[in-house]
Amino acid sequence: MIILAGLALELILILSFVPAPLVPLTADSGMDELVPWLEVLGQPIHERLASLRPGISLTRLAVILQMVCFLGLFLPYAGALRALRTDGDLRVGRAVLLFGALFQLTALASRRLFSNDLFSYIFNGRIMTVYGANPYLAVPARYPQDPLLPLVDWREVPNFYGPLWTLIGAELTRLGGDELGLTLLLFRLVPAAAAIAAGILIWWTLRCWQPRQAALGAALWAWNPLVVLESGVSGHNDALLALLLVVAVWGLVRRRAVLGLLALTAAALVKYSAAVLGPLYLVVLLRRAPNAAARWRVLLGMVAAAGLAAACFFPFWGGGGELAVSALVSSPARYLNSPAELVYGQARLWLGDDSRLIVERMEFRPWWAAAQRPLQLFLERAEIPIGQVEEDQVVLAINRSDGRWQRVFDPVTRTTGYVALAALRTTVRPRSLDADPEVASYEIGPTGGAVAARVNLAIRLFGWLVVAAIGTALLWRAVTPDQLLSGWLTLLTLVYWLVAAWFFPWYLIWALAVAALRPRGPLVWALVVWSAAVLTYYGLVTLEGDPTLGWLYRWRAVPMFLPPLLVLVGYAIATRVGRSPAALRS
């Protein structure tokens, strides 16, 4: 059964490469440059699909096929988990690990990336190695001559990854040199290798601790389609963070306090988010210290962890020196793909905020433009003229353009409307408007108004207060490694729902690694369902701006977050009536 399930998952994974080049918002992985024959999975099949003349566009068909493949990966995965629930055979565990490695190696052959984060990793490395600057202070937009700049999404934003990952990225960038395909592969090799190593360590840890669940835990992680796609295919550094969390748990189980604390600190130095798990880990570590010598080892581990953090921060700490981390969990610009985004938008609407600003992307920043010729100002796009913009007159662009029309604020007439984008050129704000309060209110952008600030503060306070209250309760009773893992899963679930208002599918990898070390209970299986649900993002994000189906994009957080909640609610109801599903308990 396990062999058949592994082969089926491998086949579907390869098939998922076929529609990917036609899916919008994907990026070239560089593999065509390194392995040209991989094109056999693309152009010939695409031409055949086009010749069939389907009733929908080839792009829409590709998106549908991509989603079918992605969600289809969960069929053999679910079958394997079901078969492994009671099978702790050593040979089966080895087969699980071999297939896990095969999936990651196959994923590296993907011709497309489903995220542009890799280009940000590389550009941060180039800021250090090519330009000799500090990526926490210098933004990519400062280097318009760099050929990689058009590939970077976050051009105006300084690096917000941890310093350990930034240092690793600098070395990978140095190794790759000017060969983009090779550099992309090097960056993808790190999370792919980390995912394989995490699977081996999960299996090893459970063999020493819960041997009957070793193969199940290894499969829950190494065979999970989300882990495979976000590690080997898209190359997110979250797989490295997950590996370090597993190392920290291994150190706790094996009473290696120094190693455990170093690993957890390193995880936080890859992504600062991991720091939320630190207090619970330290409390359990101290409670498991049987004597003074063991407590001294914990203290030594804390000193070593502080030394590691200082060593990683040191290269970046100079001059102005502040790291750009405050916006991660506090900024009104950090709402995307989450329930909080829906609440944020609706609350602002109820409180009277501008509806056009509410639907604007949070990262949008207004920009000044000048008319290259006399223009008509329209109430809506090409409808109902409401004014005139003279040649060289300066206006403020206050929403993203649709490619043809740009919504602007005219500081002369104090009106807003639409003008032709092609007739605008960028300029700077006139000095006469420096102290204009109305201009200042528009310049702040979609997230800078008073209403947005109040709603953001309420959402942030609520989320952090709930996490702090439940985290404090967990601190009181956590003693064993099992209780630590249960507490971590609870904390991460709350963080995803209430704190991570800026959410992407790959964030779920952290919790999957923890769940694999404790593969039982309703929260674990809800997380498995969640890992399938978040992949709907890759289909729904292509509908942004669609005149017919754009509402599905606006409500994308519902299919991403509702299924695991239904699993937990269903389990609670079944437990209350005395019919708790055995599959969720075990």
- Total number of domains constituting the chain: 2
Q: Are residues 443 and 486 in the same domain?
A: no
Q: What is the pTM of this model?
A: 0.86
Q: Are residues 104 and 216 in the same domain?
A: yes
Q: Is residue 170 part of a domain?
A: no
Q: Are residues 358 and 437 in the same domain?
A: yes
**Contact of 544 with 556, CB cutoff 8 Å:** no
Q: Are residues 203 and 78 in the same domain?
A: yes
Q: Are residues 512 and 421 in the same domain?
A: no
Instruction: Say which CATH number the domain at 442 has.
Output: 2.30.30.40
Q: Is residue 310 part of a domain?
A: no
Q: Compute the Cα dihedral for 408, 341, 515, 262 and give only its sign.
A: positive
Q: Are residues 76 and 193 in the same domain?
A: yes
Q: Which two tokens stand for residue 112?
A: 């497309």
Q: Is residue 30 part of a domain?
A: yes
Q: What are the E-state strand segments in 359-432?
A: 367-371, 375-380, 383-389, 394-397, 405-410, 415-420, 424-426
Q: Are residues 418 and 483 in the same domain?
A: no
Q: Is residue 241 part of a domain?
A: yes
Q: Is residue 176 part of a domain?
A: no
Q: 34: domain range? A: 2-114+186-275+479-585
Sheet containing strand 405-410, edge to edge, reads 383-389, 375-380, 415-420, 405-410, 394-397, 367-371, 424-426
Q: Are residues 447 and 484 in the same domain?
A: no
Q: Are residues 359 and 269 in the same domain?
A: no
Side-chain-facing half-sphere of 352: CA atoms under 13 Å: 1
Q: Are residues 56 and 205 in the same domain?
A: yes
Three-state DSSP class for residue 378: strand
What is the C-alpha to C-alpha distance for residues 35 and 489, in angstroms, rounded to an integer?
40
Q: Is residue 498 part of a domain?
A: yes
Q: Is residue 282 part of a domain?
A: no
Q: Is residue 527 part of a domain?
A: yes
Neighbours of 80 (CB within 10 A): 25
**Is residue 113 within a helix (H) or strand (E), and if so which, with residue range?**
strand 112-113
**Contact of 121 with 188, CB cutoff 8 Å:** no
Report in angstroms the alpha-carbon separations of 417 from 99, 348, 356, 450. 58, 22, 11, 22
Q: What is the pLDDT along the chain (586 residues), one digit of tens a residue?
A: 889 999 999 999 999 998 888 888 888 888 877 887 777 666 666 666 666 666 677 888 889 999 999 999 999 999 999 999 876 677 888 999 999 999 999 999 999 999 999 999 999 999 999 999 999 888 787 887 889 888 888 776 788 899 999 999 999 999 999 899 999 999 999 999 999 999 999 999 999 888 889 999 999 999 999 999 999 999 999 999 999 999 999 999 999 999 999 999 999 999 999 999 999 999 999 999 889 998 999 999 999 999 999 999 999 876 444 455 555 556 777 788 999 999 998 898 898 876 666 655 555 678 888 999 999 898 877 678 888 899 999 999 887 676 678 888 999 898 888 998 888 888 888 888 888 888 887 777 666 667 888 898 999 999 999 999 999 999 998 899 999 999 999 999 999 999 988 899 999 999 999 999 999 899 999 999 999 999 999 999 999 878 888 899 999 999 999 999 999 999 888 887 766 565 555 5
